[in-house]
Amino acid sequence: MNHEPQPLSDAAIAQLRSDLLAGAYTLEAVTSRLGSAALAGLVRNSSTPVARALAGRSDAQADLIRLWLLALPVPARRVRTLLAGVDDLVAAGLLATDGDEVRAVVELKPYGDDSFAGWICADPTPLDGRLVQPRPDFVLGASPASTTLAQLIPRDGVTSALDLGTGCGIQALHLAEHCQRIVATDLNPRALELARITLGLAGVDAELRLGSLYEPVAGDTFDLIVTNPPYVMTPPDASGLVYREGTELADGLMRRVVSEAGARLNEGGTLIVLGNWAITAQPWDERLSTWIPDGCDALVLQREVLDPFEYVELWLADAGLAGTSDYQRRYAEWLDYFAGLGIEAVGMGWLAVRKSGREQPERRFEEWPHAVHQPVAEAFADFFDAVTEARRPEAELLAGFWRRHEGVVVETIGRPGESDPQHLVLRQQYGFGRALEPGTALAAVFGACDGDLALGTLIDAVAAILEVDTDALRAEVVTGVRLLIAEGYLLAA
């Protein structure tokens, strides 16, 4: 007889944490024990390297790894010596008993970064090529998308934050490092319960609210909103996987996440979104520009473009349908759905929106498949701050003192044996890793920007060296300087 899982009490969560620590089931200890080869196997969803690393061992840590990471059955008598609250964990649906063995229903994975360590409570990732169709209320654990999103999140000047669509609670863990107040929402009740366990194990306080999009926070505003929403564009009545699919037409859910954020942001607040969008006959940047709320700056980077076939195959495999009898039918339905909506491709990337209140907001949409220097959170924050600096009146700009970002290097390209290079490139070894070919005059001015002399004085000096008209050079260089400031090559001294 099946029973509804009972929520794990706060006391039971505290006991579980104590037992995990007692068994050395922590990120540092497990990483040290397994070694790089076994850990790399887990990244490939292969359990064999870990199983071999633990072969013949039945100590507490080995059994906890088998139980929570590999989803292997472990003798009940051994589990009860490791976990004082086995009955509570079974009642909560985290463990299941099968005769004299216990197996984990969820994955409890050590997780952390340089400043914190905890555990992620989520549904297991299928290992060793097993085809498993996720349950409709599946809760995804730490994924490449969620870890990337964590690297996009600004850390400074944030008091209150909204984790929109929290899932397993991974973003709330990161937000707790620098936010006083966190609200985490999800429309999946099971996700909120597993997030409560994730956060409870880490001692993180957050307000967990059930509901869709911004409904649970109507009337609230935040300094920061972060989200990796269920952005997968599927036909109606597709898989029903709430962790990845909304009910809006095409990319309507992504549009709502962005367009409705203005009302939920404080002045100066920032929205960070990782997701995808439809590419149609209308240029993608024109489509997405209509999503940005009034009075908001935006920086949108399209990191990758998939054709419909690639996109559908990716998500059919994610749903565990590859190799099933339903695969071709679902494939055809999905392609027909895209064709009917005029979706020619799908863009995937990052959106950052800042509520600046400008009458003429800064809106930039870029194809950016290039390598970046993670974390890029600071680069997003710096971009929005630099807009104000780059828009200074010309007289103020010329009177200002500027310095080169220390992470900029100069590259020269030329033919062997020639005295002068054919090209001179400024390249950022930080943030978005931008590169720019400035030209002779702008390069000379940039090279002289060390914060000691005003920009106008530097331009006059370069004009004298190049023996050109000062006014003409100033008109040419000021435009370039504004770009260098906006893109983070030059900083106010």
pLDDT tens across 361-409, in order? 999 999 999 999 999 999 999 999 999 999 999 999 999 999 999 999 9
Element (H, E) at 253: helix 252-259
pLDDT score recorded for residue 126: 86
Select 144-375's CATH number: 3.40.1010.10, 3.40.50.150, 3.30.450.20, 1.10.10.10.
Answer: 3.40.50.150
- Retrieve residue 154's tokens: 């600004």
CA gap 343, 279 in Å, rounded: 6
The distance in angstroms from the start CA to the end CA of the chain is: 70
Tokens 């001692």 found at: 203
CA dist 322 to 230, 246, 312, Å?
A: 21, 22, 11
List the chain residues with pLDDT less than 70. 1-2, 237-239, 414, 417-421
pLDDT value, residue 417: 61
392-492 folds as Arc Repressor Mutant, subunit A (1.10.10)
Q: Identify the H or E element spanning 405.
A: none
Rounded Cα distance between 59 and 53, Å, is 13
pLDDT of residue 398: 96
Single out the residue of 487, 393, 405 nearest to residue 447, CA to CA: 405
Asked if 134 contacts 43 with a C-beta cutoff of 8 angstroms, the reply is no
**Cα angle vertex 142, ends 273, 348, to 5°?**
35
| Contacts of residue 51, Cβ cutoff 8 Å, sequence gap at least 6 | 66, 70, 72
The predicted structure's pLDDT at residue 187:
94
Res 1: pLDDT: 47
What pLDDT is stored for residue 10 in this prediction? 96
Q: Where are the domains of the chain?
A: 10-105, 144-375, 392-492
- DSSP string over 337-395: HHHHHT--EEEEEEEEEEE---SS--EEEEE--S---S--HHHHHHHHHHHHHHTS-HH
The backbone torsions φ and ψ at residue 302, rounded to the nearest 5 degrees and listed phi first, read -90, 110
